[in-house]
Structure 1
Amino acid sequence: MRRPGALPPVRAWPWWAQVLLVAALARLASAVLLVLVARHQAATPWAGAAPSYPEYVGLFWDGSWYREIAELGYPEELPLGADGRARQNAWAFFPLFPTLVRPLLAVGLPWQVAAPALATLLGAAALLVVHRFVGEVVARSRWAAGPARRHLPLVTVAVVATHPAAPVLQAAYTESLALLLVAATLLALVRHRYGAVLLLVPLLGLTRAVALPMAFVVLVHGLDRVRRVRAGEPFPVRERALVALTGAVTLASGLLWPVVVGLATGEPDAYARTQAAWRGRDGVVPLLPWWDVARYLVAGAAPLLLLGVAIGLLALVAWPRLRRLGPVAWGWVAGYAAYLVVVLEPGTSLVRFSLLAFPAAAAAAGAALAPPGRLRRALGVAALLGLGLAGQALWVWSLWRLVPPSGWPP
């Protein structure tokens, strides 16, 4: 019997309270790491040596670009160098997050307080939606009753919250907002709430360059619904039309920001040229950067490295535990991974980008919860979380900490 006035055990708390507790503990652990590493941070163009916590999470790396956008807006013309090529500029960064921060700046909060605070709140909201999504797909699948079915949503939240790049969820970056919108879009698709998807994907298109792979998810979802018709599940004409419309709007959302940049600057290819400025190339070339990076890293062994990467990605996509989460979860991981391979120049930012592939974390959590015996399951979950936190320490020290004059971006 519980003593009068005593708090109930955590397992008796409402699901949302458990999620927020996990989120708070994870962000506190990341904050401790950031504060400790900040003591060893040399002076940079963003702040002096040993910056404060708000400076460290609000002004460093891309946070400085988002601050410029929030306070000054975008340049009227595409900034060009003496050679006529686009210089690195604010048009590479999407507008929704700095737009959301502006009202906080208007009431007097400095950027380095307002932006990380908003990102932290959005990150907590994202984890709530991740929990709902995983719970929904488990309920709709053939998972047998047991610990995995009961605990998978919360363990997935813990794995995502302790991802090696999870400190970015409390920094002036777009990951928190993007994770929230991705998880909400996937949840809406699973629930067949296509009106919500139509509202969410344009916002996603103004947050990160990840709306295009979401179109693949819509395609996979539509094909799955057609397949289920044979099993007697209804797929009314109205919903078929909505799925088709959703796919079209999602594709358009993936092109929305490049079109806006082209119209604003008067240069139709301004966004692509801006992206090329970060790559040191004349343009964004699909797939070729993987070969170039592999040759830079291992020279003649580049084909073997790329083969290993390809096998790893195929193994992830074919992983039964991922497929067990349903077509929407599988479609997002597969489409997002393929999109990154095609458009990305591989580098250290891949760790951060992988944070959005959260259904893979659910599959890993499912593997940790699969063995019989409470102790084995607890050890498996502890190992996942321990690896994540160790990865965070390495990520913050090696990537977030800048050793002037230059460093690899987080």
Structure 2
Amino acid sequence: MIVLLDGLLSARQRAGSALHAAGARAWLRFTALPGWAQALLLYAATRVFAAAVTVSVARFQEQSVWTPASPSYPIMAADLWDATWYRKIAEGGYPLPLPRSADGAAAQSEWAFFPAYPLLVRLLMTVTGGSWEVVAPTTALLLGAAAAVVLRRLFARVAGEQAALAGLLLVLCAPAAPVLQYAYTESLALLALAWALLTLVERRYGWCVLAVLLLGATRAVALPFALVVLVHAVARWRAEGRSVTLRDRFALLGLLVASGVAGLAWPVAVGVATGIPDAYTEVQSAWRSGQVVWVVPWLRASSQLFGDVAGPVLLVAALAALVWWCTGPAARSLGPELPAWVLAQQAYLLVVLDPWTSLFRYLLLQVPVALLIAVQVRSRAAVGAWAVAGLALQVVWVAWLWRFSPPSDWPP
């Protein structure tokens, strides 16, 4: 019996050693690939997982105004929630005059949504002859692949290759990451943001202007990027002083102006097109219970979740911890730009957002947080545990928020 047990233990040890060796060889082959190929492989693996989750959840999707019961993957990825607004823009453009409800107030309409993604899909639909359900999520999927490549390069530029892979994995395993392959703007916004941050870090200011203008045509996040440009300029001036060339000074000034223009261009365009200067603000208020109020909605939401006293205290503590984390040694090792983006976007969200279930999706653009985690965790096993937890939360996000339970539900 003892001999038999010894044999079984030895066989188990040999099998474990063989698996470990095979895993080590696979890892070596993976890391030997070019950086862009590593990024695409990680992206492909996580997209297959998200697609499988989407197909599984679709079996439980009830019939609604948007989809039939148990829809196919293309319909599930292209016809829920705000994707319907992007479809209207792609197929019919923006409505004139400004749609209004019976009481004369601005109604919910396409003017609340930025044009870059739906117009790109419209162009591709025209060129290929494909339907919205095919072209829209496919476009988002490919844009997300490009974003993964650029993001890995950005992370490698500021933190090294190993941290870059870990940080990218955590981004792609974030709870709301399945939206990167749905008919939403997140994949294009992530590409534009990664491109803007990379070109800013590399001091290619002309390309950064283009990236910021694209970002401003995709999502309402170009204004906080202006703060990142300002932080970059101050940091460079403190490090180099008068040795900063006159050309770079003017380039940075132009980039700062371009960031402001990109942040205001769409609201101004909506006003000009409709003939109503504050039309964009009016349309946005149609999704709210009242006018935009700074910070108060965050306090209200925290009170609803955790109590009138504990909620605001926890909110303030969380924000203070975020500031402390983004100004600490690990964050400083990444340079000033990425931590500045985290704080700038969070400050912007405090001003403009009524936080609720959509917050998970908005936080997807807080990509430097994933890199900070990767830099501080370091252990591959710990990063893997973070990734697995994120994938589990993706199942929750798709089943709870992306799946629509008629007649009304919380938005993703």
Q: TM-score with structure 1 length normalisation? A: 0.90
Is 1:134 aligned to residue 160 of structure 2? no
Is 1:289 aligned to residue 297 of structure 2? yes
**TM-fit CA distance, 1:289:** 1.7
The C-alpha deviation readout for 1:203-247, integer Å capped at 9, x for no partner, is 1111000000000010000001101115xx931111011101110
Mapping for residues 354-393 of structure 1, pairs under 5 Å: 354-369=363-378, 377-393=379-395
Q: Could you tell me whether the CA contact under 8 Å between 2:35 and 2:153 is conserved in 1?
A: no
Q: Could you tell me whether the CA contact under 8 Å between 2:62 and 2:68 is conserved in 1?
A: yes
Corresponding residue for residue 145 of structure 1 = none
**TM-fit CA distance, 1:23:** 0.5
Corresponding residue for residue 37 of structure 1 = 57
Q: C-alpha distance in 2, partners of 1:316/1:88?
A: 39
Aligned-partner SS, 2:331? helix
Corresponding residue for residue 205 of structure 1 = 216
Mapping for residues 50-129 of structure 1, pairs under 5 Å: 50-106=70-126, 107-129=128-150
Q: C-alpha distance in 1, partners of 2:90/2:273?
A: 17
| Amino acid in the other structure paired with 1:10 | F
Q: C-alpha distance in 2, partners of 1:124/1:28?
A: 13
Corresponding residue for residue 5 of structure 2 = none
Aligned-partner SS, 2:243? coil
Q: C-alpha distance in 2, partners of 1:391/1:286?
A: 30
The match for 1:261 among 270, 274, 285 is 270
Name the Cα RMSD after superposition: 1.8
| Amino acid in the other structure paired with 1:225 | R
The C-alpha deviation readout for 1:385-405, integer Å capped at 9, x for no partner, is 111101101111110111111
Summarize the Cα distance change of 1:298–1:77 in structure 2 as closer, same or farther, 3 Å threshold: farther
Misfit runs of 4+, over 4 Å: none
Corresponding residue for residue 246 of structure 2 = 237
The match for 2:337 among 307, 319, 328 is 328
Q: C-alpha distance in 2, partners of 1:381/1:309?
A: 22
Q: How many percent identity over aligned positions? A: 47
Corresponding residue for residue 19 of structure 2 = none
Corresponding residue for residue 372 of structure 1 = none
**TM-fit CA distance, 1:313:** 3.0
Q: C-alpha distance in 2, partners of 1:320/1:395?
A: 33
Larger deviation, residues 284-293 vs 48-57: 284-293
**TM-fit CA distance, 1:299:** 4.8
Q: C-alpha distance in 1, partners of 2:328/2:54?
A: 34
**TM-fit CA distance, 1:55:** 0.3
Q: C-alpha distance in 2, partners of 1:330/1:188?
A: 16
Q: Could you tell me whether the CA contact under 8 Å between 1:35 and 1:52 is conserved in 2?
A: yes
| Amino acid in the other structure paired with 1:136 | R
Is 1:163 aligned to residue 183 of structure 2? no
Provide the aligned length of Structure 1 versus Structure 2.
Answer: 385
Corresponding residue for residue 173 of structure 1 = 184
Corresponding residue for residue 348 of structure 2 = 339
The match for 1:184 among 181, 195, 212 is 195
Q: C-alpha distance in 2, partners of 1:260/1:182?
A: 22
The C-alpha deviation readout for 1:81-104, integer Å capped at 9, x for no partner, is 122221111111100001111122
Corresponding residue for residue 143 of structure 1 = none
Q: C-alpha distance in 1, partners of 2:323/2:31?
A: 37
Q: TM-score with structure 2 length normalisation? A: 0.90
Q: C-alpha distance in 2, partners of 1:15/1:91?
A: 39
Q: C-alpha distance in 2, partners of 1:303/1:166?
A: 28
Q: C-alpha distance in 1, partners of 2:264/2:243?
A: 32
Q: C-alpha distance in 1, partners of 2:332/2:92?
A: 45
Aligned-partner SS, 1:408? coil
The C-alpha deviation readout for 1:326-347, integer Å capped at 9, x for no partner, is 1111111111111111111111
